[in-house]
Amino acid sequence: MSTAERRADLRGAREERLFVKVLSSTASTDLESIIFSGSTEDVSSSGLSLVASENLPKDSELELWVEIKGCPGKFLLTGVVRWCRPKGAEFCCGVEFTPTEESDFLEWQDLFI
């Protein structure tokens, strides 16, 4: 089954800036607590494709601060890496959001109504 066929929600191509903090990674503790910038390739109400310089192992837990053009402030979201593959000199990773009380997940979902 292709990655696109596993998506629960329709994704729209959208390039937005974001910052990422790795909360945990079962494959590499060297990645834990690092913070880096990146961009989105596409977004949906339940996840996004992240383009960055870091190769993030599957199941890594992330905290993301996403800036959406036209929206004030940033959205704080948490998610899990479902896949990651090379994209030129960078990597593209599929991130599925995990709602938490501290996150802006509900506000994020309102963007897609």
What are the sequence ranges of the domains in the chain? 3-105
How far is residue 51's CA from residue 46's CA, in Å, rounded to a whole number? 17
CA distances from 43 to 7, 24, 27, 29 (A): 11, 23, 26, 28
Q: Which fold has domain 3-105?
A: Thrombin, subunit H (2.40.10)
How would residue 5 be classed by pLDDT, with cut points 50, 70 and 90?
very low
Q: Whole-model pTM?
A: 0.86
Mind listing the pLDDT tens digit for each residue in 13-55? 678 999 999 999 988 778 888 999 999 999 999 999 999 999 9
Q: For residue 10, is pLDDT > 60? A: no
How would residue 1 be classed by pLDDT, with cut points 50, 70 and 90?
very low
